[in-house]
Structure 1
Amino acid sequence: MSQWEIGPIFRAMMRNKVGAVLIAIQIAMTMTIVVNSIFIINQRAALMERHSGIDEANSFYLTSTGFGENFDPKSTTQNDLALIRSTPGVVDAIQINAIPTTGSGWSMSFQVEPGEDKQDEGAAIYMVDEHGVNALDVNVIAGENFNANDIRWRPKSSRNWPDIVLITKAMAQSLFPDTPWQETVGKTIYISQTEPMIIKGIVDQIQAPWVGWDDLEHVVMTPEITQFSSTRYFIRAEPGQRDRLMPLIEEALASSNKQRIIRGLHSIEETRERSYRGDAAMIKILSTIMVVLTIVTGLGIVGLASFSVNRRKKQIGTRRALGASQGAIVRYFMLENFLISTVGVVIGAALTVGLNMLLVNLFGLNAIDWYYIPSGMLVLWLVGQIAVLGPAKRAANIPPALATRTV
């Protein structure tokens, strides 16, 4: 880009300052919104891609709610689990108080030392029996799984907790940051500030029910079955058998005991889609806004360039008559747009950082990664060059003879 080329371009821009300024502002605003939108979209997409740790593709759950004076929660649960586990196509089944991605569950605080003033870590509570590890498809990577003798029945009025637990690797690392997670087996943690629980085993991964929770992989599994009139069963099917088993088990349970209602039959995949529906909607909205803004900006550049070509037809014809090649005319308008775009993306870079700081302070979002800004600048430069290419080629096709015509 030589001084000879920049001079005429700059003087022409000064004669049409309003158009150039408006396009620069439009580019700046587009970059600000698009770059922050892409960053938010990538963050949301990463959240949606997190695996819950369970066999999502083959699992489902339902709720049994008993009624009547003769309804016996304990015997009903025992009979239901025996029926479900004996059904061909079922890998395993458990009664459980909460399920990953459902948005409903129990949580408690845990400490490594007893006392009100001790640091604690929040965790979701999953109450399971010895089948829990297999039914949920999690792996015990240190220590041991529960056995049948560990399991207790929990009445609705109970306020105390079992003496042993399984915890996730992430929970072990948070509770004992200075100890290798494998060595936390056998250590004591405290629930309700003073009640001790011994870590019997470490499982690899399972998420809490709340997908928006910061401590999503903080999970504690307790060896107990609830004696509540309303209970939830989690069933893991063999690959390809889930959809066949869902209505089959629902009907079997409904027929086996007339003193209860079977409801809330859902697959984990369906539940996951529902839990992340807000994030998916946000991605669609932001993507639409980005596309519309980029198109509008491109059309604005085309309009400004076309207006500039129409105003300067005689000037262009004169340059062609003086020996300027078609390539030189195209380069002239490409460089003019590049200068306008540069002003726009530089302002846009500053606005992008400012908007991100505002989002961080107001909504607790993460600070934008540095590489988003230069990437956005490159994209907007490219959009500008593509948008101006058509008008630039039309300008290059203006014949030299136009210079001799009078208006």
Structure 2
Amino acid sequence: MTDSKSPSFFAENWEIGPIFRALLRNKVGAMLIALQIAFTMTIVVNAIYIIVERSDKMQRPSGIDEANSFYISSVGFSHDFNSLVTTQEDLNLIRSLDGVIDAVQINAVPLSGSGWSMSLQTQPGAEFDGTGTAVYMIDEHGLNSLDVALVAGENFSPTDIQTRQSSQTHWPDKVMITLAMANRLFPDEGLTALGKTVYINDIEPMIITGIVDQLQAPWVGWDNVENVMLTPEIRDAKSSRYFVRTKPGQRDRIMNEVESQLAKSNSGRIIRDMRSVEETRVRAYRDNSAMISILVTVMTILVIVTGLGIVGLASFSVNQRKKQIGTRRALGASQLSIVRYFMLENFLISSAGVVIGAALTIVLNIVLVDAFSLDPITWYYIPLGMVALWLVGQLAVFGPARKAANIAPALATRSV
């Protein structure tokens, strides 16, 4: 006995009409899978875009020799503690150690999350807007210690270095800035900013005597992270931070040696907060790393659940249609035509899902851009996401389709 519906149920060619009519008879299941695919695509595409953006952000070069650098703090507590003398003695000691390239007292460290910031402007007066910049106070050893390249102008000389008191508000008359900062202050002029005057504290002039290639601010989440200025100053304070650059492969040994030597050299202070720049980078971007891990986990779960949903719907469909499939096989349908039918059926469901998903992806991205100041998603992520979900659907349905193709023609002769 044959099923009267079998001729319209399977077609030897790729006609969509019979498949579409079959889907209408089980439209609830098909709609649920399509919506699941749409939801998965919306989350996965936006998640991948955020992951790529965060990964690129985490790979940004800081401009310093991260692999071979560390920093350490000295905090004086005795009543006769002389900060300037101690600082000079400490720097002389550190610079004399075998394996040390150079060292400098510095008020902040790139990537560390804590530092100084000021505003520079190209015209004097409180009525003009300034451009925010991170501030690093260094001496003539600063560029070599940080491994920052000077691309224009000249480094600070020993006679340029001033002593900065804790309550001081005025600034030196010389400054070095990054090339990114030069381009922000003087758009399209770049290196020609050398020798020009900028103003700090609204009216206090500073002459740009040097431009360095790249150096990041301490705050990795800051939009103007490349805006940096370097001033020729040594801080007269009981708390000092030393930035040390070593020869390749010598950092860990030098860290232990510096900590030990400084602790022995002066009993009127404590040594603390020693940390490599590599560790500082990990700490600076740990929120981004955690977000990436969470997004990868969510994406993986969503794709697996979607795949299982497709497998479940296809398996249910096969079980419901066993007699019809057997009838079609008895009438001469090949195994390939059976597999093709279920693959095409899934393709139609997936197509509806990815089209809805594409629209939802754009809507969610608009919300994310407004809420978290992200860049709009690049257009090609959407078609790539559609192709990926099509492939997931085809792979998921292949197993049930093979199972359907293996149904024996003899099943058609069995009673219902």
Q: What does residue 219 of structure 1 align with? A: 228
Aligned counterparts of 2:414 and 2:123: Cα–Cα separation in 1: 93
Q: Give 1:251's match in structure 2, choosing from 246, 260, 279.
A: 260
Match of 2:365 among 332, 343, 356: 356
**Per-residue CA distance 1:322-367 (angstroms, 9 max, x = gap):** 1111110000000000000000000000000000101111111111
Instruction: Give the SS at the match of 1:110.
Output: strand
Q: What is the DSSP-based 3-state SS (H/G/I as helix, E as strand, rest coil) of the residue aligned with 2:117?
A: strand
- Distance, in Å, in 1 between the alignment partners of 2:181 and 2:61 is 17
Which residue does 2:332 correspond to in 1?
Answer: 323
Whether the 8 Å contact between 1:58 and 1:242 is mirrored in structure 2 is yes
Partner of 1:343: 352
> What SS is found at the alignment partner of 1:211?
coil
After superposition, the C-alpha distances for 1:84-105 in whole angstroms (9 at most, x for unaligned) are: 0001100000000000000000
1:45 maps to 55
Q: Secondary structure at the match of 1:233?
A: strand
What's the CA shift string for 1:372-394, capped at 9, x where partnerless?
A: 00000000000000000000011
- Deviation at 1:236? 0.3
C-alpha distance 70-251 of structure 1, shift in aligned 2 (>3 A) = same
Map 1:257-406 to 2 at 5 A: 257-406=266-415
The Cα of 1:209 is off from its aligned counterpart by 0.1
1:105 aligns with 2:115: yes
Which residue is 2:24 aligned to? 14
What corresponds to 2:5 in structure 1? none
CA shift for structure 1 position 9: 1.0
1:341 partner amino acid = S
Asked whether the 8 Å contact 1:67–1:229 carries over to 2, the reply is yes
Q: Distance in 1 between matches of 2:133 and 2:106?
A: 16
Whole-angstrom CA distance in 2 between matches of 1:43 and 1:71: 48
**1:46-92 CA deviation, whole Å, 9 max, x = no partner?**
00000100000000001100012100001000100000000110000
Give the corresponding residue for 1:58.
Answer: 68
Give the deviation of 1:178 after TM superposition. Answer: 3.9
TM-aligned CA deviation for residue 266 of structure 1: 0.2
Aligned residue for 2:245? 236
Alpha-carbon distance in structure 2 between the residues aligned to 1:253 and 1:4: 81
Deviations along 1:232-253, one digit per CA (max 9) or x if unpaired, are 0000010000000111100100
What is the rounded CA distance, in whole Å, between the counterparts of 1:288 and 1:393 in structure 2?
30
Deviation at 1:3, TM superposition (A): 7.7
Q: Secondary structure at the match of 1:258?
A: coil
1:217 shift after superposition: 0.5
Q: Does 1:209 align with 2:218?
A: yes
- In structure 2, the CA distance between the partners of 1:190 and 1:2, relative to structure 1 (3 Å rule), is farther
Q: Quote the offset at 1:2 in angstroms.
A: 8.9
Match among 180, 186, 194 for residue 176 of structure 1: 186
Q: State the 1:119 CA deviation.
A: 2.5
Partner Cα separation in structure 1 for residue 118 and residue 171 of structure 2: 11
Please identify, of 355-364 and 263-272, the stretch whose mean Cα deviation from structure 2 is larger.
355-364
Q: Normalised by the size of structure 2, how large is the TM-score?
A: 0.96
Partner of 1:151 in structure 2? 161
Q: Does structure 1 residue 75 correspond to structure 2 residue 90?
A: no
1:90 maps to a residue whose letter is V
Question: Which ranges of structure 2 fall in alignment gaps of 5 or more residues?
Answer: 1-10
- Per the TM alignment, residue 182 of structure 1 is displaced from its structure 2 partner at its CA by 1.7
CA–CA separation in structure 2 for the residues paired with 1:184 and 1:6:
67
In the TM superposition, residue 404 of structure 1 has moved relative to its aligned partner by 1.3
The question of whether the paired residues in 2 share the 8 Å contact of 1:5 and 1:332 is answered with: no
For 1:142, what is the secondary structure of its paired residue? strand
Q: Secondary structure at the match of 2:15?
A: helix
Aligned-partner SS, 1:97:
coil
Query: Could you tell me how far apart the structure 2 residues matched to 1:2 and 1:307 are?
Result: 22
What is the root-mean-square deviation in Å for CA atoms of aligned residues?
1.1
Shift of 1:227: 0.3
CA deviations on 1:105-160 (whole Å, 9 max, x unpaired) are 00000000001121311000000000000000000000111111111111112110
Give me the identity figure in percent: 65
Structure 1 residue 4: Cα displacement: 6.2
